[in-house]
Amino acid sequence: MIKFFGLLSSGFKEGIFERVKTLRYFLIIFFGLNLFLFPLTLWADDRGNDPGEPDKVYFEATGMHSADGDTLYMSPNILPWDVNVDIKIETDNGISGVSVPFYDICYDASTMPTYLDPNKNDPDSCTPNAYTGTAIENFSIVASNLYGVTPTSSPPNFLIGAVHFTDSFGVTGVMQSYDLAHLTFTIPAGATIPGCLCLDTIPGAFQPGGGTFSMTTPGAVIYIPGFDESICCFVIAERFNTAPDLTCPTSVDGFGGDLITFQVGYDDLEDDVVTCGTCTVLSDVGCGACTMTDFPGGEAGTATFEFNSAGYTESVVQLEVCFIDEFTATACCTIDVNLIYVAGFVSIAHEDFAAVGDVVYLPIYLQNFVEFGGFKILVKWDPNVLTLHDVIRGDCIDEIDFNIGPHNPHYKFEEFMYEWLPCTEVHKRKIKVVGIGDLPDGYQGYPIAPHQEECVLFYLKFEIKNDATLKGLKLPVIFEWDVGIWDENTFSDPTGYVWFVSADSTQFPYDPTVPNYEIRKLLYFFDGGIRVNDNDFRRGVQLESW
């Protein structure tokens, strides 16, 4: 065991030789017909009469282990703990029976009483077991027997038999690797760490049973495979590791009563496997739950969670999301879920300081709690008292992207326009104002960001008629609710498939069920207008920036 001893200190090596005096023997025997009639005549490294190229039986670390496969890891200060080792074979023969007797050189009843627990390995006791997913999983007979010394829970002998009466694994003439067993060794409480697990074949016939280290072909040819002793010994050590690194949103917006979906990324910088994720509602109000709906696992990935906000009346609900790696290192983050019961307020301003003949830039204000990717607004007024000269972008949508070229500036909220609507009434004029955040024009457009306290969506440039009879009057400018245009005064999300409309049933009396669209009655609209002074006092209402 040259490689094994090279891994350990001299004192630890001396302990190995002492442990050999109290060896516990284990046997895994996968047998074909008449397998036990043949005694072992050669050592494990003799190939015997292998019908093809020399086969090789070897052990391989699985589960939590170092990159080089020499060390089996366990979480610090947690016993009992399980470590995993596979028995594998490289063969170019068909095989219907396998017998691999082996023992653990490192076994010590006091300091390293490692054992194979039948409740984790035995096919009659558990599923999955040591043979799930192996080449012999579906053999005709797979059985196990434990030979222990009472009252110890660590049997010195571990015997498994398996036979397939009509089939085999392996392809004659094609060298391939196959799994024979996935062994789970348990390190009980009281074991001395660091420790070791060093597996070697048993010389001579194994007792009880008389099985020998050999393979059996479907033609009942018995031969001795090779054994690679360079990869059969492992150090058992604690692994002190850091928790996974999380990419966690600080907050998530969602509508009250909805199922709210969000994602959290994880990345274990030490390349440990992240085994699970959890989501807990920290608030004690409400009855909804948070669950993980998609978890790719592995060393890094993005998990999807779903929070059921039904029953909550709070504006903010706090969640805790945690991820645990294979060494039980845990990382957590908290997320505020902002429950939205109102999408926004749209208000036409009240201008109280204007005089006859003035030009007034009347703002339409927006306070929003969600992203808006577009809007369509209808406004009306009396053309006998007000003349509309222009409609101008407000600060909600007037940011320019200069990065696309100094000579070709482009609005981030791309499209803004208005059009006159036909109207036969003498005392009414109306327009439709339309905005689209992102057009299919090759430019990257941007929506109106959420949580605008109060920005100006656009300005209506009016001129007050020079009529002295208007002094002291309020000139209304209001939203138009036309029964013939059901999609008036709507905002949409960035996808265009969610529409936000008035929550006032007198303004939006329609059935919100629309094919291929989701309608949410979560907007509130407030009319405004211009009050004309009844004296000669005039405030400078013209905006010099225009």
Question: SS3 sequence, 531-545?
Answer: EECCCCCCCCCCCCC
Distance of alpha carbon 18 from alpha carbon 278, whole angstroms: 46
Give the position of tokens 């049973």.
209
State residue 64's pLDDT score: 83
Q: Which SS3 state, helix, strand or coil, does residue 118 take?
A: helix
331 forms beta bridges with 323
pLDDT in tens, 191-235: 999 999 988 877 666 655 666 788 889 988 889 999 998 888 999
State residue 144's pLDDT score: 65
What percent of the chain stands above pLDDT 70? 82
* Bigger pLDDT: 249 vs 271: 249
91 forms beta bridges with 176
| SS3 sequence of 313-359 | CCCEEEEEEEEEECCCCEEEEEEEEEEECCCEEEEECEEEEECCCCE
Distance of alpha carbon 216 from alpha carbon 97, whole angstroms: 5
Residue 469 phi/psi, 5° resolution? -70, -10
Residue 430 phi/psi, 5° resolution? -145, 150
All domains of the chain in start order, with CATH: 2-238 (2.60.40.680), 245-340 (2.60.40.10), 344-532 (2.60.40.680)
pLDDT in tens, 370-382: 999 999 999 999 9
**What is the DSSP annotation of 482-527?**
-TT-TT-SEEE-TTSSEEEEES-TTT--S---BTTBEEEEEEEEE-
What percent of the chain stands above pLDDT 90? 50
Distance of alpha carbon 159 from alpha carbon 162, whole angstroms: 10
Q: Which SS3 state, helix, strand or coil, does residue 48 take?
A: coil
Mean pLDDT across the chain, nearest whole number?
82
State residue 195's pLDDT score: 92
Which of 46-55, 123-132, 283-292, 384-393 shows the highest mean pLDDT? 384-393
Which of 101-105, 256-260, 378-382, 518-522 shows the highest mean pLDDT? 378-382
182 forms beta bridges with 86
pLDDT in tens, 390-437: 999 999 999 988 776 555 678 999 999 999 999 889 999 999 999 999
SS3 breakdown of the chain: % helix, strand, coil, rounded to 5? Answer: 5, 45, 50
Distance of alpha carbon 523 from alpha carbon 218, whole angstroms: 77
Distance of alpha carbon 267 from alpha carbon 291, whole angstroms: 20
- Other C-beta atoms lying within 10 Å of the C-beta of residue 63: 17
Distance of alpha carbon 98 from alpha carbon 28, whole angstroms: 9
Name the residue type at position 182.
H
Q: Model confidence at 515, in pLDDT bands (50, 70, 90)?
A: confident
Q: How far apart are the first and last CA of the chain?
A: 88
Cα angle 239-245-248, degrees, rounded to a multiple of 5: 150
State residue 67's pLDDT score: 80
Strands 226-227 and 56-62: parallel
Distance of alpha carbon 72 from alpha carbon 46, whole angstroms: 29
Residue 462 has pLDDT above 90, yes or no: yes
**Residues 477, 527 contacting (CB under 8 angstroms):** yes
| Beta-carbon contacts of residue 213 (< 8 Å; ≥ 6 apart) | 40, 44, 99, 100, 101, 201, 202, 224, 225, 227
State residue 156's pLDDT score: 53
Q: Which two tokens stand for residue 466?
A: 């020079």
Q: Name which of 172, 129, 126 is nearest 28 in CA terms.
A: 129
Name the residue type at position 99.
S
pLDDT in tens, 295-352: 999 999 999 999 998 888 888 999 999 999 887 789 999 999 989 899 999 999 999 8
Q: Residues 59-85: what's their mean pLDDT?
A: 89
